[in-house]
Amino acid sequence: MTDWGALYREHVGAVCALATDLTADELAREVPATPAWTVHDVIAHLAGGPSDAVTGRMDGAPGPEWTARHVGERRGLPVPDLVTEMQSHQDPIAEQVADNPRPAIVWDIAVHHADLHEALGRGRLPDHLWEPVLAGVAPMRFGTAGVPADVDPYELFRALFSRRSRTQMQAWGLPLSAEQLDEVCIFGPRDDDQPIPA
């Protein structure tokens, strides 16, 4: 069984280390997977979401108004402040997710951590940071059909969270219709091709 609290802490450590090493140009870069956000905005979300969860400001979660509020509140904050905020909430979050079979906040940081890597050209996340998320989510999306064995697992992880386009998914050659592939994507299908790490 996955230790979701430990996985969350590891993501926080890695995201904070990445964030403190970024240039102003990198922080201003658009993140293709979340086109309304820059790298700085994604970091703000990864600080704001857990802060809201710990303090009970969850009205509208996980909808766009909720995320827009906490990202907007942090848009002008320097990265060190966001890093401090993330670190300050990691223990209560880790405790909250310890026995949760569907720890959405852990899945969220894994997905956005991968968004940052792809936007910044940093390659794939290490396997141990995303494989437990894939193992937890894929059976819920594929059901009795089973998880496709002939698709790159990382690409499947990204597609499940709507980080691959219809065209990119159709290139897998699975015996699934376009509509069936659309249903795989938790946040719905997308038409814009995403950067694929080498």
Q: Number of structural domains, the chain?
A: 2
Residues 128, 79 share a domain: no
Query: Does 44 share its domain with 135?
Result: no
The CA–CA distances, whole Å, from 90 to 6, 30, 150 equal 10, 26, 36
Non-local (6+) Cβ contacts of 78 within 8 A are none
Q: Residue 11 is which amino acid?
A: H
- Is 133 found in the same domain as 96? no
d(CA 2, CA 163): 23
For the chain, report the end-to-end CA distance as a whole number of angstroms: 30
Local confidence pLDDT in tens for the 198 residues of the chain: 799 999 999 999 999 999 999 999 999 999 999 989 999 999 999 999 999 999 998 888 888 899 999 999 999 999 999 999 999 999 999 999 988 889 999 999 999 999 999 999 999 999 999 999 999 999 888 776 677 888 999 999 999 999 999 999 999 988 888 888 898 899 999 999 999 997
Residue 106 forms part of a structural domain: no
57 located within any domain: yes
| pLDDT value at residue 145 | 67
pLDDT of residue 177: 85
For residues 103 and 42, what is the distance between their CA atoms, to the nearest angstrom? 19
Tell me, yes or no, whether 107 lies in a domain: no
Tell me, yes or no, whether 110 lies in a domain: no
Residues 95, 131, single domain; the answer is no
Containing structural domain, residue 191: 124-198
Asked whether residue 74 is domain-assigned, the answer is yes
